Structure 1
Amino acid sequence: MTLMSCPDCQGKLSDKAFACPHCGFPMVQQKGRSAWPGVIGGVAGTYISSQALIAMVLGSVMFIAFAAIMIAAIMR
């Protein structure tokens, strides 16, 4: 793994990064290499990794489940 400069903000990032962690600038992909499942879509010029998306969804589900249990305990 080598570090290179982002063409947009000149920040340092890995040569294997899909997007710049500083500014979200998408990096050019090599031919024959798919971004799926490493990167899912782009929102406002930034990319989100599938691992981060799974963590957010799982965290939301756990929060809602905990809130439902606490509400049920209070209503008893």
Structure 2
Amino acid sequence: MALTTCPDCAGQVSDKAIACPACGYPMMQTKGKSAWPGMLGGVAGTYISAQAVVSIVLGSVMMFAFAAIMIAAIVS
């Protein structure tokens, strides 16, 4: 593992790093594709995977469905 210099903040970054840990500058670029496959977001450290988004949405729907069932059981 070699260290390189970030062109944005001049910090030391691993040559295997996708982005600079200090400033988020993208270090790896693939041909025409994002260096963050399957990720949503814009700043390093704030990316969230598509699977995490699906889990959050599904969990929220299940929570509201459970709450609706419990309210219906209490009311009747």
- Per the normalisation by structure 2, the TM-score is 0.56
**Contiguous gaps of at least 5 residues in structure 2:** 7-11
- Report how many residues are paired: 68
Partner of 2:58: 58
CA distance in structure 1 between the aligned counterparts of 2:72 and 2:29, rounded to whole angstroms: 50
Partner of 1:39: 39
Q: Which has the higher strand share?
A: 1
Partner of 2:29: 29
RMSD (CA atoms)? 3.8
Structure 1 residue 33 displacement after superposition = 2.5
Query: Which structure has the larger Rg over C-alpha atoms?
Result: 2
Task: Answer whether contact 1:40 1:49 (CA < 8 A) is retained.
Answer: yes
- Per the normalisation by structure 1, the TM-score is 0.56
Q: Percent identity?
A: 61
Task: Answer whether contact 1:26 1:47 (CA < 8 A) is retained.
Answer: no
Task: Answer whether contact 1:37 1:50 (CA < 8 A) is retained.
Answer: no
> C-alpha offsets along residues 30-76 of structure 1, whole Å, 9 cap, x if unaligned?
12334686011237841000000000000000000000000000011
